[in-house]
Amino acid sequence: MLITGSGIENPGTILGVEKEESAAGDWRPPTATWTPPDGYFGLGKLRKIQGFLLWGEANASENPVVEEKRERLVELLRGGRRVLVFTGAGISTGSGIPDFRGPDGVWKRRQPVYYHDFMRSEAARVEHWDYKLEAWTAFRDARPNATHAAIVQLEHAGKLAAVVTQNIDGLHARAGTAAEKLVELHGTNSLVECQTCGRRSEPEPHFDYFRETHRPPLCECGGFLKPATISFGQNLRTEDLRRAESAAKAADLVLALGSTLSVYPAANIPLLAAGRRAPYVIINRGPTDHDEFSELTLRLEGDVTEIFPPAVAAVLPEWSSSSSSSS
């Protein structure tokens, strides 16, 4: 199971990321080049992983403890057949998605609107749409990064049980994760949903309407429209929980990426797999609520994008060879 949770000046950041499309218009990993500014040399090394330029951690290979942990991650990936990926905000900040809970996060400046307030108060609906509009451009223009691409590689190799994400940015879907493999526990900003009839629609026209009128948009049925995310005080979708739990119970490896594992009930999902003795790996910059749990097999501290894609890249040739020989 894989759980995932920025700026160009941080080691491990994706550099020179630009959207590329195939003739069919689908997203591909970027291949743009980038020249480090003065002062970057000596801090680390520039590497290319799966079409992304990564600014690597300085002398990581010279630290025997770090190197041993990364080799252990490769071993676990090599043995995984049904990998459950659980992701959090830490995998998306490098794609330009705003942080909500961090020291400079959105919620330091404004309070989230609770669902029951949204449903009963026009003022609350205005506030909700206003704060969603503030971040809409960032969400709309964000592109998947090397971590999202590496997860898709797992799927293409036939090793992915499911991606269970807390993220609402839609980047897993944009990267190419199949809908049947993706569980967006907290919903998605990529759609707007009527709270009465359940009809879903594209967000852009509704944001344009709100920007022009400062009035919350309504559905044709008269119901309140809201970005299709799970608000505070709103129940998670039963079907999403069922799918996540089913994947966790079938997984033989759990990877938690970029999550502090502090938001429940989502954070229980990796533990369902780990409780069945599936190896449990956490990769995150900063502490998580599961760091001291006995179920934890391997803990790697640092930027997910610096650690995870190279590990997947190391195993891919073996998976490709195995797939070719079996066919």
Q: Which residues are catalytic?
A: 186
User: Left if phi > 0, otherwise alpha if psi is -120 to 50, otherwise beta: which for 7?
Assistant: left
Quote the crossing angle between the two packed helices 203-213 and 122-141, to the nearest 10°. Answer: 130
DSSP of 170-200, one letter per residue?
A: -HHHHHT--GGGEEETTEEEEEEEETTT--E
**Taking the alpha carbons of 86, 90, 95, 97 in that order, is the dihedral positive or negative?**
positive
If one counts every other C-beta atom within 10 angstroms of the C-beta of residue 115, the result is 18
Angle at 258 between CA 12 and CA 8, to 5 degrees: 30
Strands (E) located in the chain: 2-4, 14-15, 20-21, 27-28, 46-49, 52-55, 83-87, 160-165, 182-184, 187-194, 200-201, 225-229, 253-257, 280-284, 298-301
Selection from 147, 75, 82 nearest residue 307 by Cα: 147
Q: How far apart are CA 110 and CA 126, in angstroms?
A: 13
The span from the CA of 103 to the CA of 85, in Å, is 26
Evaluate the CA torsion angle 249, 252, 254, 255 in order and state its sign.
negative
User: 164: which strand partners?
Assistant: 86, 183
